[in-house]
Amino acid sequence: MTLALAFILTVALTPSGAWPIYFLLFALALAVVILSELGVSRVYRRALIALPFALAALPMLFSVAGTSLLNLNLGLLSLTVTREGVARFMSVVVKSWLSVQMAVLLVGCTPFPALLAALRALKVPRLLVAIVGLMWRYLFVLVDEALRLLRARESRSAHPPEPTGRRVGGSLVWRARVAGGMVGNLFLRAFDRADRIYAAMLSRGYDGETRTLPMPPLHAREWAVLTAGLCVLVLLMVSGLLFVH
C-alpha cells in the first residue's frame, strides 16, 4: 500500500507537460499490472472511470494563458484555446488515469482486511478506519435489501399475456413516484438495520476500536522492494522537475 500511495503522490507532483516521465510512469504501472495477473484489459477498463471526472478540468483549455491555437466565437462569448491550456488539460487526464489505475491494482491485489490493517499502520484515525470497514461489510446487506425490494415489486407487477403495443407500467411520472418510494423504503430499512446492528455491537462491548492481531514485521526482501520502489519514484519525480525547468 505504501508503494501505491507513493506512486499516486509522484503522479500528482509531476509537473504538467512532462510527457517522457508520464510514459515511464505508465510503463511502470503496466509492468505491475502484468505481474499482478489481473488482466491488462480489465484494469484499463476500470481505470477509465477517471475520465468523466477529469472533464472538470476542461475550462483549463480556455483559462490558461499562452500561445493561441483556436478561437471560438459563441455570440457574446469569445473563447481562445491555448497550447499551454491543452497541455495542462491533457496532463490532468493522464494523471487521473494513472492514479486510478494504481488504485484499481491496489484494491484488486490486496484483501480488504489487509487494506484496513495497512490504514491503521499508517496512523489513519481509527474512527475513519472503522467507518470504512463497516461500510464495506454492510454494503452487501444494503444490496440484498435492494434486491428484496425489486423482487417484491416484480411479484406484484402484472404483465399482459400477449403484447398489446402499449408500454406497461404507466407514465414516466408514475414510474418516478414508484422509484422514489422504493428509495425511501430502502433508506428506512437501512436506517433501522443500522440502529439494530449498533445496539448489538454495544451489547458486545464495542467502544469504537476494532481490535485485530498486530501487523507482521517486514522481511528483508520486502524492505528491499519497498526501498527500491521508493527510490525509483523519487528519481522519476525529480527528473520531471528537471525536465520542465
CA distance 154 to 195: 29
Q: Is 121 a residue whose pLDDT tops 80?
A: no
Contact predicate 93/60, CB 8 Å = no
pTM of the model: 0.68
Computed over every residue of the chain, the mean pLDDT equals 79
Name which residue leads in pLDDT, 212 or 145: 145
Of all residues in the chain, what percent carry a pLDDT higher than 90? 0
Render pLDDT for 42-66 as a digit per residue (tens, 0 to 9): 888 888 877 777 777 777 777 777 7
Higher pLDDT: 23 or 155? It is: 23
CA 244 from centroid of its chain's CA atoms: 29
Q: Residues 6 or more apart from 97 whose CB is under 8 A from it?
A: 47, 48, 50, 51, 54
- Estimate to the nearest angstrom the gap between the alpha carbon of 167 and the chain centroid: 38
Residue 163 has pLDDT above 60, yes or no: no
Assign residue 205 a region (left: φ > 0; alpha: ψ between -120 and 50; beta: otherwise). left
